[in-house]
Structure 1
Amino acid sequence: MTEVKLEVLKDFIQCQESPCTSIYMSTKAVHKGEFKKLEIEFKNLLQEVEEKLENSWSFKQRDIDNFLKEAYALAADSTFWQEQKEGLAVFISENRFDYFKLEVDTYNKSYVSYNFNLKQLISEFQNNQKYYLLALSPNHNSLYQGSRNNIEKVELEELPLNITEFLNLDDKAAEKHQSVNTAGGSAVFHGQGGASDDDNEDLIHYLKEIDRVINLELKEDRYLVIAADDSVFSLYKNINNYDMLLDDNLSGNTKQMNKKELREKSWELVEPHLNDYIKNVKEKYLELKASDKTSDKLEDIVEAANYSKIDTLLINKKAEKAGVFVEDENEIKIMKNNKDYDLYNYAAVETIKNGGTVFSIGKEEMPGKSDISAIYRY
């Protein structure tokens, strides 16, 4: 199990070992302690997969038992079911078995096809956006990576632990600097309680070094929340060169907050911004809707995805339609056998494969009445 990143999605897209089995399951019941319920639901989904392997892929029972051996072992692992998040995704083919504990809720569904069904995994990839939290003060610094349901400390060797260590001060100088720069947990600067220009200059030099390390190490396009006294944050904002810094800080003494409090308070600041990109995409789609740069017709979009024409795709993650895109005839056909696949998943997979962006969202979030909308490259 690993984090769902774009490279992970692309790796699953390349799988050629059919049949490819995809299982999604909501695990929210774990919050109520209903672990046995999760085991039963997962076994029911495995029964569905067994039937599909037997009826559509002509698997014998011995083949089924071997194919699903690791999945049934997982089903019987009571410890595993007590350590769930919001959802679970399991992917099985002849030579691979992977699972992901998802931060976003899913709905129960099983697929057996020539390719993995990635619609709900795409939803995890886009909705479980990570962000950074930097607890910043003259006396201590800590960097965290957070998400809706999790926060973990990130170790950066070059990040100064505090201003005393950074300036290599002796005990006497450190005590003077601390007394000048902090008062009741709040930083004091020149013009605010009489801090000297030298003290202010030291603090700015210290914050510039932190900014340098942050810009060197945080290469991903993620929001950065600063947990700091308002006056420290004000100085840091003027120094900062990290593009994704939020305008609002988490104020207060972070050393007195546990990880749960840090996550909850920082998430309140980040959450309103995480859906900005979907909002912007929908606005762009509506602006272009009258032109030939968009479509909300599944048949047209499937063809466009096949020919690398799609820049951005929005799909209702619960929408499904079985069929096959026949490239020689540029049309969709329904075979009514195991050659059929989910055309919405096909459009999503082809878009990602060809460098486009996919948003797998709820029906209510779609920009129109259709279950699929695309912005074309040309």
Structure 2
Amino acid sequence: MTQTIEHFETIDSEHLEQLSTARDSLCVSIYMPTHRHGTDVQQDPIRLKNAVSTAKKQLVKAGLSESDADDLLQPARDLMNLDASDEFWQHQSDGLAILLSRDESCLFQLGTKFDEEVAVSHRYRLKPLLRSMNASEDFHLVAVSRNAVRVFRGCKSGLKEEHFDDLPAGLDEGDNDEQRGHNRHSFKVRANAADSSVPHGHVEKKDEEELKQYFRDIKEAVGAHLRAQDAPVVFAGVEELFPYFKDEFDCCPVLDEAVQGNFDDSSADDLLTKAWPVVRNHCDSERKAAVDRFGEASGTKHGSTDLKTIVQAAFNGRVDTLLLKHGDRNFGTCDDNGTVERSDEAASADTYDLYDIAAIRTLRADGRVVFVNDDQLKSPIAAIFRYVV
């Protein structure tokens, strides 16, 4: 019986961990770029059809019968047979990942433009998903005014609004006292911004508690979601509100630079135009800082570019930061202790990408994985160790 394929629009560390274990049966990993709109959407079902054809050949080569291969691939076949005008293809993001095995079928529609790739092994190919989850230029944007709160998730290619049942509709939501409602809508700004009686230097003291409660209500609705996604958070709103947001959301990775203004009537595209330069600067700084740290460690035993050393260290929980390039791969195998038994082997059902293994094991020990540009690192992989053995 054909499995129902599960749809996801995000990937978190817990889900990645569930997908990372080796399977007794073969796994299929399909990655491909997709298009949000335009005539290029017509090519996406064709691209998936080609990927399914490639996957079938690899499955048969690995020993499955054609009928068993067809059964395993059926959830993907169902999607490729949909017309390009179908809602599924008309509501794509920038990348599509499909993971299939005897026990599960899932797809991810994400804001990362994947390279076309098909892999068949006893493990899923996860490095592209890892890039989307951990290091890419994905971010959240929270637009707050006294009249509205909107939350978006996206990347440089686009923003998509997220909806939450308990998100306040505005500062005076649920207030039946007309005068109190008027006060909340019209919190006043002092001419003397340095007045020490105003905690953040801008808002009248009598409005202070109402504003704090407003942001506590926002945090109650979305705080756990933002923390779980582990993506930078950009605040969009008037300058006076930003300190309250930062104070309440101190457990989330809120960027120090905000997008200032009132965006109640702004489209997602308008917000992206304003927010993306802020996120890009942050991502560039994060990558550069990681590369600089490795530069300092590389001349000592605290850093290495040797794959076997890095995999072993990742299994032992020693990797503080792992640096990877986007497209590089190194196939092979390793044992349960992290000893690399083969490397530089061609991709097959019996091998897997050792960079995947190093990354998963690094995250499992609360390390960081940073994807760097090709010109920032000579080696395809590098690691900074927590301690020397």
TM-score by length of 2: 0.80
Question: Partner residue of 1:296?
Answer: 305
Using the alignment, how far apart are the partners of 1:358 and 1:289 within structure 2? 17
C-alpha distance after superposition, 1:25-74 (max 9, x if no partner): 1124x54423332222211111211111111x211111111111111111
* 1:77/1:292 CA distance change after superposition, 3 Å: same
How far does residue 18 in structure 1 lie from its aligned partner after superposition? Answer: 2.6
Q: Which residue of 1 aligns with 2:159?
A: 150
1:307 counterpart (316, 322, 325): 316
* Distance change in 2, residues 1:349/1:226 (3 Å): closer
2:52 partner letter: L
The one-letter amino acid of 1:255's match is D
Q: Map 1:67-106 to 2 at 5 A.
A: 67-78=72-83, 79=86, 80-106=88-114
Q: Tell me if the contact between 2:145 and 2:262 (Cα under 8 Å) persists in the aligned partners.
A: no
8 Å CA contact retained: 2:145, 2:170:
no
**Structure 1 residue 123: Cα displacement:** 0.9
Name the structure 1 match of 2:359: 348
> Are residue 114 (structure 1) and residue 122 (structure 2) matched?
yes
Say if 1:188 and 1:290 are closer, same or farther in 2 by CA, change over 3 A.
Answer: same
Name whichever of 59-68 and 155-164 sits farther off.
155-164
Deviation at 1:131, TM superposition (A): 2.0
Which secondary structure does the structure 1 equivalent of 2:317 belong to? coil
When the two chains are superposed, the root-mean-square deviation of aligned CA atoms in Å is 3.2
Compute the displacement of 1:116 (Å): 0.6
Q: Equivalences for 1:234-273 in 2 at 5 Å?
A: 236=244, 240-243=247-250, 244-273=253-282
Residue 33 of structure 2 contacts residue 113 of structure 2 at CA under 8 Å; is this kept in 1?
A: yes
Contact residue 13 and residue 349 of structure 1 kept, 8 A: yes
Secondary structure of the equivalent of 1:67?
Answer: helix
Cα deviation, 1:206-245, whole Å, max 9, x if unaligned, reads: 2222243345552415544443334x347747x8343354
Which amino acid in the other structure matches residue 207 of structure 2?
L
CA contact (8 A) 1:27 1:88 kept: yes
Instruction: State the match for 1:363 in structure 2.
Output: 374
> Contact 1:143–1:155 at 8 Å: present in 2 too?
no
**Alignment CA distance shift 1:222-1:206 (3 Å):** farther
Counterpart code for 1:204: E
Matched with 1:10 is 17
Q: Does 1:212 align with 2:216?
A: yes
Task: Give the structure 2 partner of residue 184 of structure 1.
Answer: none
Q: 1:277 to 1:156 in 2, by over 3 A?
A: farther
Structure 1 residues 190, 345: CA separation in 2 closer, same or farther (over 3 Å shift)?
closer
> Which residue in 1 is equivalent to 2:342?
333
Residue 321 of structure 1 deviates from its aligned partner by 2.2
Distance 2:325 2:242 in 1: 42
**Contact 2:303-2:382 within 8 A present in 1 as well:** yes
Give the structure 1 partner of residue 46 of structure 2. 40
Deviation at 1:344, TM superposition (A): 1.8
Distance change >3 Å, CA 142–CA 112, structure 1 → 2 = same
The answer to whether the Cα contact below 8 Å between 2:151 and 2:162 also exists between their aligned partners in 1 is: yes
Q: Does the aligned pair in 2 maintain the 1:89–1:99 contact within 8 Å? A: yes
* Aligned counterpart for 2:27 among listed residues 20, 36, 49: 20
Report what 1:189 is aligned to: 189
Partner of 1:170: 178
The number of aligned residues is 357
Task: Report if aligned partners of 2:326, 2:371 keep a CA contact under 8 Å in 1.
Answer: yes
Residue 248 of structure 1, CA deviation: 4.3
Deviation at 1:23, TM superposition (A): 0.9
Higher Rg of the two aligned structures: 1
Structure 1 or 2: more helix by fraction: 1
Once residues 234 and 340 of structure 1 are traced to their aligned partners in structure 2, the CA distance between those partners, rounded to angstroms, is 50
Q: Sort the Cα spacing of 1:330 and 1:174 in 2 relative to 1 into closer, same or farther, 3 A.
A: closer
Deviations 1:65-122 (A, max 9, x none): 1111111111111222232221111111112111111201111111111111111111
SS at match of 1:22: strand
Quick one: percent identity of the two aligned structures?
A: 23
CA contact under 8 A between 1:313 and 1:351: conserved in structure 2? yes
The yes-or-no answer on 1:58 pairing with 2:58 is no
Higher mean alpha-carbon deviation, 4-13 vs 17-26, is at 17-26
Q: Which residue of 1 is the match for residue 4 of structure 2?
A: none
Question: Is contact 1:54-1:60 (8 Å) kept?
Answer: yes
Partner amino acid, structure 2, of 1:47:
S
Instruction: Evaluate the alpha carbon distance shift between residue 74 and residue 297 of structure 1 in structure 2; reply closer, same or farther with a 3 A threshold.
Output: same
| Match 2:325 to one of 316, 333, 339 | 316
Between the aligned partners of 1:130 and 1:36, the Cα distance in structure 2 is 28
1:303-339 Cα deviation digits (max 9, x unpaired): 2223333222112231122222256894432677632
Counterpart-to-counterpart distance in 2, 1:129 and 1:356: 19
Whole-angstrom distance in 2 between the partners of 1:85 and 1:153:
14
The residue type paired with residue 206 of structure 2 is D
Asked whether the equivalents of residues 123 and 361 of structure 1 are also in contact (C-alpha less than 8 Å), the reply is: no
Name the aligned partner's letter for residue 189 of structure 2. F
Q: Distance in 2 between matches of 1:125 and 1:67?
A: 26
